[in-house]
């Protein structure tokens, strides 16, 4: 087995800042992907992103030992993470094609919120999580450019479940494998899981421009965020990570408003403030 890579050597900032950088990267990538979601379909976009991510990580990391462990049945956590990541990403993009970005992430946040509450033993954590939950509820309210859609909400709920599983499994994969080996393998499995629906939708409908755009955007989602989150989860508990993710609906709302004209109303703005306050309270405990 290769020696343990120092994944944190190039990330000198505090672990919570890696989580923040991951959220900003994800939401920027999601907003920039919106036009392609509407023209090419969420399944094809998801599949192309995961294929590009897999190729980039396999080429850079070369996780031969981890691949061997998968084939010998000794890497169930990486396999499970790949399945969860694929389903989560597909559900996320399907929801983005139907509902505002901030609303989608508000529903998705129920996943990490559940992880944070279940793993907590301090009253303060429950209070901050409760404030974040109140903010999410406000962000879900309809407005002029902020309309719910039942299919979009259902996909967002599926993504929330996948996100909760992803947090727990990423922690295990980070502890089980050296460097980015586990992530490279799980990303490849995620691409394979989505291939049946993704290839079917993409076949004959994807231009060379879309293919190249998917490769560039794959760095924003999912390569860079997953690398940052894997590094963060090697330092943070799943509870702390889950609560820190409470900032994501607010970041998503901001990106959607600025880049997609999905402007929230006063009620959603109040939810934004609640989520940010809960995040600040959490960071003071780190």
Quick one: pLDDT at residue 43?
Answer: 96
Q: How do residues 243-283 score in pLDDT, each as one tens digit?
A: 787 788 889 989 999 999 999 889 988 988 888 788 777 66
* Cis omega (within 30 of 0) for bond into 222: yes
Quick one: pLDDT at residue 4?
Answer: 43
Quick one: pLDDT at residue 1?
Answer: 43
Q: Which residues contact 121 (CB under 8 A, 6 or more apart)?
A: none
Q: Name the residue ranges covered by the structural domains of the chain.
A: 15-116+147-236
Describe the crossing of helices 15-40 and 101-108 by its angle, rounded to 10 degrees.
130
Quick one: pLDDT at residue 3?
Answer: 42
Quick one: pLDDT at residue 278?
Answer: 80
DSSP letter (8 states) at residue 140: T
Quick one: pLDDT at residue 152?
Answer: 95
Quick one: pLDDT at residue 119?
Answer: 67
* Measured distance CA(205)–CA(41) in Å, rounded: 9
pTM of the model: 0.86
DSSP letter (8 states) at residue 220: I
What parts of the chain have a pLDDT lower than 70? 1-11, 119, 282-286
């Amino acid at each position: 087995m290769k020696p343990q890579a120092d994944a944190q050597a190039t990330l000198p900032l505090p672990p919570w800042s890696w989580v923040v950088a991951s959220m900003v990267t994800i939401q920027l990538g999601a907003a920039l992907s919106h036009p392609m979601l509407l023209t090419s379909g969420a399944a094809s976009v998801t599949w192309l992103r995961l294929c590009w991510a897999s190729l980039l990580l396999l080429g850079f990391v070369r996780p031969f030992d981890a691949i061997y462990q998968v084939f010998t049945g000794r890497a169930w956590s990486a396999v499970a993470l790949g399945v969860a990541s694929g389903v989560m990403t597909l559900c996320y993009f399907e929801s983005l094609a139907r509902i505002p970005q901030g609303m989608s992430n508000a529903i998705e946040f129920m996943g990490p919120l559940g992880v944070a509450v279940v793993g907590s033993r301090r009253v303060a954590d429950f209070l901050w999580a409760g404030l974040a939950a109140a903010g999410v509820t406000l962000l879900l309210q309809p407005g002029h450019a902020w309309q719910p859609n039942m299919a979009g909400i259902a996909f967002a709920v599926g993504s929330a479940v996948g996100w909760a599983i992803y947090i727990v499994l990423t922690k295990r994969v980070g502890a089980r494998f050296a460097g980015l080996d586990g992530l490279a393998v799980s990303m490849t499995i995620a691409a394979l899981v989505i291939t049946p629906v993704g290839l079917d939708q993409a076949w004959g409908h994807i231009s060379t421009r879309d293919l190249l755009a998917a490769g560039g955007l794959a760095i924003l989602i999912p390569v860079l965020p997953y690398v940052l989150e894997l590094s963060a989860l090697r330092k943070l508990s799943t509870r702390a990570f889950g609560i820190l993710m409470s900032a994501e609906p607010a970041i998503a709302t901001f990106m959607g408003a600025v880049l997609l004209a999905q402007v929230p109303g006063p009620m959603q703005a109040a939810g934004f403030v609640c989520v940010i306050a809960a995040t600040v309270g959490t960071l003071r405990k780190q």
